[in-house]
Structure 1
């Protein structure tokens, strides 16, 4: 009995152990199955995310291609503008040569002039072309000096102008004068209305003296076919000297010649260059979105209470 009983107990323990291992196996199979399902779900999600990433990268690549094309166009435009500014500098050099040539020839006939290379102004010094107070009349000495200036202009300017048909010109420099302003000026005395009228009359009277005695100057034109000689009056707004006495007033009652070359557009081109630099910066940000993102401070993630 005891033996039989102990045998039953052994069988009972064996069955219990077998049942335990069976249940553990089933549980492990179930867990493995769950892990397989989870792995499959993860794989599907990963593939979906990968597809979306590839699509996003393609869009970014398209943007990058467009940005590269824009960058190439901007680089080409910058190159052209840089070349244009180089030409402007050459035009300035040609204008300086023109002014020096006129100055040298006027020195020979005894007329002293000064040159402002930044503005292209030829200023007639001493008593070259002066006016009495409140007068726009050219006296005998002023008339002789105007004739001397006109003769030199007729000798030098054909090398810097575009000539109409029937006239022989030799634009050896390749740069053309757009306008030569005959500028009239006054001193500070007198009323505004009188000074504006006086300055304009002084310029007009000088112009008339030039073209009446040297008609060939009216035949000199710019590339638009327009006469290069023109007049302007500035009253006392552009003094040659800041000196409020009789001598200063005498010096400021004068005629200046301002030479403008057709290529004088440097300021506008410089503004375009600044705009292009701003555009290039935007393109650089478009080409490197990650760098732009790194430059942007990230906001801390908000924690929502559960």
Structure 2
């Protein structure tokens, strides 16, 4: 009898152990499912924010194009890359980096349109530059005034100066915009993390020479050359805080 009793006791202990393990694994699985659902919701929200920012940028570009067309300035827009494009012929004489008189008039009109619309997409603007379009919940992170040239070498003193020419044109356009509308300097965006943020101007400038031809104009025809000599306004939208992505992975 004692031997039988001991065997039953061991069997009962084994059953209790397996029940405890089963409960623990069920609990862990439940926790895993909760975490998976949480991260799936966070990822979906982040994806929606990024998609919404791209949609807002496309609406911004279309609004700028519409207003400029009313000012007899026909510009091209690329909603996929966030670019508003001005052919160099409407701004500069051939081989020159300073704006023509007609170019200055067009830049002045461009500045007026920008200062009317961009406050709707920035974190900060002067009180005397209110939003005159539909206010957006999405924000511009940066606006680059980009200079581009074609790939044909432009020699000065025996060296190719295409990059210098494109940069000078971008800088001169940038300066003219700011001179015509000082309020553009007040358009700012927030940078940093949620805990530490500061306001910085959205306007910036860059020059690329012939290193970034427009899509579909990578060739060497006169049409390709004309398409690649340009000033681009490139709009970058603020995206979800990178720390949010990091926290999702930890």
* TM-score, structure 2 normalization: 0.79
Where does the alignment leave 5 or more consecutive residues of structure 2 unmatched?
192-198
Q: Distance in 1 between matches of 2:160 and 2:19?
A: 71
CA distance in 2, matches of 1:85, 1:74: 16
Aligned partners of 1:128, 1:264: CA distance in 2, in Å? 37
Which structure has the highest helix share of the two?
A: 1
Mapped to 2, the partners of 1:190 and 1:113 lie a distance apart of 26
Instruction: Work out which of the residue numbers 177, 188, 198 in structure 1 matches 2:151.
Output: 188
Contact 1:188 1:236 in 2 (8 A): yes
Q: Which moved more, 1:187-196 or 1:248-257?
A: 187-196
Corresponding residue for residue 210 of structure 1 = 177
Moved more, 144-153 or 57-66: 57-66
Q: Which residue of 227, 234, 247 corresponds with 1:251? A: 227
Aligned to 1:11: none
Aligned length: 234
Q: What SS class does the counterpart of residue 222 from structure 1 fall into?
A: strand
Unmatched 5+ residue regions in structure 1?
1-35, 277-306
Cα distance in 2 for partners of 1:251, 1:117 equals 17
Q: Work out whether residues 75 and 85 of structure 2, in 8 Å CA contact, stay in contact via their aligned partners in 1.
A: yes
**Pair 1:128–1:46, CA change in 2 (3 A):** farther
CA distance in 1, matches of 2:41, 2:71: 46
1:192-222 Cα distance to aligned partner (Å, 9 max, x none): 9633322222211110111012111111111
Q: Which SS does the other structure have where 2:150 is aligned? A: coil
Deviation at 1:232, TM superposition (A): 1.7
CA RMSD of aligned residues (A): 3.1
State the distance in 2 between where 1:187 and 1:243 align.
10
Partner residue of 2:38? 76
Contact 2:46 2:240 in 1 (8 A): no
CA radius of gyration, larger in:
1
Higher RCO (Cα < 8 Å, 6 or more apart): 2
Q: Higher strand fraction: Structure 1 or Structure 2? A: 2
2:105 aligned residue: 144
| Matching residue of 2:196 | none
Which of 49, 65, 70 is the aligned partner of 2:27? 65
Matches within 5 A, 1:36-185: 40=3, 44-45=6-7, 47-125=9-87, 127-130=89-92, 132-133=94-95, 135-164=96-125, 166-170=127-131, 172-185=135-148
Q: Do the aligned partners of 2:129 and 2:183 also contact (CA within 8 Å) in 1?
A: no
- The structural deviation recorded for 1:68 is 1.9
C-alpha distance in 2, partners of 1:237/1:57? 68
Question: Which residue number corresponds to residue 195 of structure 2?
Answer: none
Say which is worse superposed, 208-217 or 53-62, in terms of deviation.
53-62
Q: Residue 47 of structure 1: CA displacement?
A: 4.5
- Asked whether the equivalents of residues 112 and 128 of structure 1 are also in contact (C-alpha less than 8 Å), the reply is no
Q: Is the 2:149–2:228 contact (alpha carbons within 8 Å) kept by the matching residues of 1?
A: yes
SS at match of 2:232: strand
